[in-house]
Structure 1
């Protein structure tokens, strides 16, 4: 298994706990912290030879067939270790989990000649992407039980209006999540101190760690472009229509200049692209427009952090005005839906100004989702329903549950049930 994901989402922690609790023998190899372990993957990549080298370099190891986990952490630090996964999988004596960030080899500072020697073990890896905590996990961390959430889900399933006290409680929790996000260290700091400023300080440290990754892994020519794209996200979200524009990065910016920088940020797990579709019909992939897309930060807390603590405070107080608020709430709903595993697009007809923030496929149907930072008008959704007559159309609002034919209004926090 290869576990991918942005740095500091908790990959090492959760795999380490899993290994210690479920295997008689657990072998941990951190290729960044212990660079001498890279010698394990030098020379022949026959499994027996790899096991011998592990026994030479790692203290107190035991190999128990069928009950040993070898965890190769920071695998991006050693390209040959990635190649070795194929042979270890074929051997099948021991379970192997590898983890890393920035696994797109074409962005590494390897020479092209060296990169050409690397063999990705296609068909021998089960790759999964790990995210920071989603909104439901944030609720657990802040003391809301699974049973309480199940009771809330009954209102969603029955499309019943919530009592105001319950609705207000979860809307407050959602605003906390909007500011804190789901990075484990940030959530821990918030839970332990109940202090938003302490959470902001931890976010700042994570942001600095990402800047260090850019410095360490990106090429000299790409570094300023990557930073420019990443730092432009608040300005992108603050536009009336939050479609990504290269001219927002730089006056004369272009895909030719900044396209690779965006790809780097996607590979690093820091952002995701959501593409427009020319027609909101199945299959959505057939109607994607590669040149038209929005960019969202993969953790909503890190997204609002880029706007600064004063903006985070205004969001908590419900004082923020203007287009930026709408873009921030779009990123919030993206965070929740993406972590649910939904493949998302958006729909905007070039002939008019109406836009549906998200569309996704479900049971052979296309479901439109309109996002409102408060409880506003639904002109876009009304036109969409009139034109395409979807079986279900969802409007997420700062309000209560409501049903009007095939249109359903839901409080924003119920996005976690979609």
Structure 2
């Protein structure tokens, strides 16, 4: 089962613009569909292609990179014979799949691109992890593209609900609510997305099982086990810390503040001891990290803090399976409670995680803001996310609060708005109800996050 992916159009743009002068490196977490969409692109857009999967490439193929890079005629002839594919200059593509498993192939890109005969595409996970780059010269002849699980729009395409998306975007632009039945339909799709997630195999199982969440859950648990196996291969000095943070993500997100309190992971531990941990989780794209900014202004990253971090799972469907064991999902009727809006704190955790996922898919880095009030001995301003328009001359930021319930207050957002009003382009509350505007705050349903 193939799904339409937005990244395909970016492949087309690369093919036209790069014209063989740069390889395309597609990186992302395991099992998000990188290999599938890259091979589909090569099949559709080239006269022929060769796919070298370094997870199972024979040793003689790997030896070509050691022995024949100085004689590319022989190099390409051997690949052509090995894979039974005729190559055509400027009309064929060669794919290096799971290139992180054989870094020498990635290093060879410099010479292969310079030769100019064929287009090269690479896919990989953990591309920037030290173990995968320590013995090679990183080629500058690469264009990097990050790929994520299916976003909500792609999920709707997969469920044959494509016509709903332009209507959602139109309502957002006009700042008007969806017609009631359409809002209910969009919310039903959103809740399915929250539970199933955007991992292709989870969606396939869900659809082939006639929308059976249990079938989807089995696939998601297999993916989580795969991630855990990857973590077991990490260097010993920080393996246990990566596993500790990964295992505690549901618990961290269940708390009110949601941020990582390092000395609660291991007593006496400090933030700087977890630097490599968060680098690994972020670079593997298993997790989306969100850092606090102390003075939100031009360039949010300039005032980000390494000691205040929230850690979201890269796919919310995986978070559901990570947070609840199989028995809990059934015995506690988790799916039923989520659809009824009665899961309480855990539902807030899932809501915030899925909004983080949708913002990252839209190209945003994640930042949050808190202000501590010494007199009240608590935070009196808490903003879940801040995004920016990234303009260097007309900079504006957009604070976002996420509310999983229909009843809420937004005093915190009002205080933030008053404090930084000259820097703010607009304020958003994301809630389960239809679109409404009040006190210059645009309150939007979660499916409209695709419009931000």
Query: What's the TM-score, normalizing by structure 1?
Result: 0.92
> C-alpha displacement at 1:220, in angstroms?
3.4
Separation in 2, partners of 1:251, 1:3: 39
Separation in 2, partners of 1:212, 1:49: 38
Question: Which one of the candidate residues 285, 304, 307 is aligned to 1:269?
Answer: 285
Q: Equivalent residue for 1:112? A: none
Instruction: Say if 1:48 and 1:116 are closer, same or farther in 2 by CA, change over 3 A.
Output: farther
Question: Which one of the candidate residues 349, 370, 374 is aligned to 2:405?
Answer: 374
Tell me if the contact between 2:289 and 2:366 (Cα under 8 Å) persists in the aligned partners: no
1:252-267 equivalences in 2 (<5 Å): 252-267=268-283
> C-alpha displacement at 1:202, in angstroms?
0.6
Q: Equivalent residue for 2:88? A: 64
> C-alpha displacement at 1:405, in angstroms?
4.6
Q: Equivalent residue for 2:10? A: none
Question: Which one of the candidate residues 393, 398, 406 is aligned to 2:440?
Answer: 406
Deviations along 1:370-408, one digit per CA (max 9) or x if unpaired, are 111123110111111122222311111111211235311
Deviations along 1:170-228, one digit per CA (max 9) or x if unpaired, are 1121111111000000011111211001110110111111122223x312343332211
Tell me if the contact between 1:395 and 1:409 (Cα under 8 Å) persists in the aligned partners: yes
1:18-417 equivalences in 2 (<5 Å): 18-36=41-59, 37-43=61-67, 45-46=69-70, 47-48=72-73, 50-55=75-80, 58-108=82-132, 116-122=134-140, 124-145=141-162, 147-193=163-209, 194-215=211-232, 217-308=233-324, 309=329, 310=332, 311-322=334-345, 324-351=346-373, 352-362=379-389, 363=391, 364-375=395-406, 376-389=408-421, 390-417=424-451
Tell me if the contact between 1:107 and 1:264 (Cα under 8 Å) persists in the aligned partners: no
Tell me if the contact between 2:281 and 2:287 (Cα under 8 Å) persists in the aligned partners: yes
Q: Equivalent residue for 2:29? A: 6
Instruction: Say if 1:350 and 1:40 are closer, same or farther in 2 by CA, change over 3 A.
Output: farther
Tell me if the contact between 1:232 and 1:248 (Cα under 8 Å) persists in the aligned partners: no
Tell me if the contact between 2:286 and 2:313 (Cα under 8 Å) persists in the aligned partners: yes
Separation in 2, partners of 1:86, 1:313: 54
Instruction: Say if 1:33 and 1:317 are closer, same or farther in 2 by CA, change over 3 A.
Output: farther
Deviations along 1:126-169, one digit per CA (max 9) or x if unpaired, are 01111110011111111212x32212222111111233222222
Q: Which secondary structure does the structure 1 equivalent of 2:343 belong to?
A: coil
Instruction: Say if 1:73 and 1:192 are closer, same or farther in 2 by CA, change over 3 A.
Output: same
Unaligned runs of 5+ residues in structure 1 are 109-114
Separation in 1, partners of 2:384, 2:131: 31
Separation in 2, partners of 1:164, 1:253: 51
Q: Equivalent residue for 1:111? A: none
Separation in 2, partners of 1:180, 1:229: 23
Unaligned runs of 5+ residues in structure 2 are 1-23, 374-378
Instruction: Say if 1:116 and 1:319 are closer, same or farther in 2 by CA, change over 3 A.
Output: closer
Q: Which secondary structure does the structure 2 equivalent of 1:170 belong to?
A: helix
Separation in 1, partners of 2:335, 2:279: 28
Identify the range of structure 1 (404-413 vs 378-387) with the bigger mean alpha-carbon deviation. 404-413
Q: How many residues align?
A: 407
> C-alpha displacement at 1:369, in angstroms?
0.9
Q: Which secondary structure does the structure 2 equivalent of 1:199 belong to?
A: helix
Separation in 1, partners of 2:124, 2:307: 29
Instruction: Say if 1:256 and 1:281 are closer, same or farther in 2 by CA, change over 3 A.
Output: closer
Report the aligned-residue RMSD.
1.8
